[in-house]
Amino acid sequence: MNSDIKIAALAKLLEEKTITRRRDFHRHPETGWTEFRTASIVIETLIELGYDVKFGNDVIDEANMMGVPSTEILEENMARAIAQGANPDLVAKMTGGKTGVIGTMKFAKPGPTVALRFDMDCNDVFEATNENHRPAKEGFASINPGCMHACGHDGHTSAGLAIAEILSVLKGQLAGTIKFIFQPAEEGVRGAKAMLAKGAVDDVDFFLAAHLMMPKVGYLAYDVQGFLATSKFDATFIGVPAHAGAAPEVGKNSLLAAATAAINLQAIPRHSDGISRVNVGVLNAGTGRNVIPANAVIKVETRGATSKINEYIYECAEKIIKGSAAMYDNKVTISQMGGAASGSNSPKLTETIGNIAARIGIFNQYEALSNIGGSEDSSYFMEKVQKNGGQAAYMVIGASLTAVNHNLYFDFDEHALTLESQLIATIASDLLTK
Ligand SMILES: [Zn+2]
Ligand SMILES: [Zn+2]
Whose atoms come closest to the Cα of 213: which ligand? 2
Q: Which helix (H) or strand (E) holds 230?
A: strand 229-238
Confidence of residue 41 (pLDDT cuts 50, 70, 90): very high
Chain mean position to CA 68: 14
- Hey, is 50 helix, strand or coil? coil
Q: What is the pLDDT of residue 40?
A: 98
Q: What is the pLDDT of residue 102?
A: 98
Q: What is the pLDDT of residue 11?
A: 98
Instruction: Please list, residue by residue across 132-163, b when 16 or more beta carbons sit within 10 angstroms of its beta carbon and e when fewer do.
Output: ebebbeeebbbebeebbbbbbbbbbbbbbbbb
Q: Measure 154 CA to ligand 2 centroid, in angstroms.
A: 10
Q: Measure 144 CA to ligand 1 centroid, in angstroms.
A: 18
Q: What is the pLDDT of residue 346?
A: 97
Is the pLDDT at 386 greater than 70, yes or no? yes
The model's pLDDT over 107-131, given as tens digits with 9 standing for 90+, comes to 999 999 999 999 999 999 999 999 9
For residue 230, which amino acid is it?
A: T
- Determine the average pLDDT of the residues in 404-417: 97
Distance between CA atoms of 298 and 237, rounded to whole angstroms?
9
Whether 278 and 318 have beta carbons less than 8 Å apart is answered as no
Distance between CA atoms of 136 and 287, rounded to whole angstroms?
42
Is the pLDDT at 299 greater than 60, yes or no? yes
Q: Measure 91 CA to ligand 1 centroid, in angstroms.
A: 25
Q: What is the chain's mean pLDDT, rounded? A: 96
Q: What is the pLDDT of residue 1?
A: 53
Q: Measure 292 CA to ligand 2 centroid, in angstroms.
A: 42
Whose atoms come closest to the Cα of 153: which ligand? 2
* Least confident window among 172-176, 226-230, 239-243: 226-230
Q: Measure 25 CA to ligand 2 centroid, in angstroms.
A: 15
Q: Measure 406 CA to ligand 1 centroid, in angstroms.
A: 6
Residues, the chain:
434
The model's pLDDT over 49-77, given as tens digits with 9 standing for 90+, comes to 999 999 999 999 999 999 999 999 999 99
Q: What is the pLDDT of residue 433?
A: 94
- Which domains does the chain carry? 2-226+341-431 (3.40.630.10), 229-340 (3.30.70.360)
Q: Measure 280 CA to ligand 2 centroid, in angstroms.
A: 23
Q: What is the pLDDT of residue 369?
A: 77
The model's pTM is 0.94
Q: What is the pLDDT of residue 368?
A: 79
Give the whole-number percent of the chain exceeding pLDDT 90: 95
φ, ψ of residue 258 in degrees (nearest 5): -70, -40
Is the pLDDT at 174 greater than 60, yes or no? yes
Confidence of residue 374 (pLDDT cuts 50, 70, 90): confident
- Determine the average pLDDT of the residues in 206-227: 94
- Determine the average pLDDT of the residues in 323-341: 97
Q: What is the pLDDT of residue 200?
A: 98
Q: Measure 194 CA to ligand 2 centroid, in angstroms.
A: 18
Is the pLDDT at 21 greater than 80, yes or no? yes
- Determine the average pLDDT of the residues in 129-139: 97
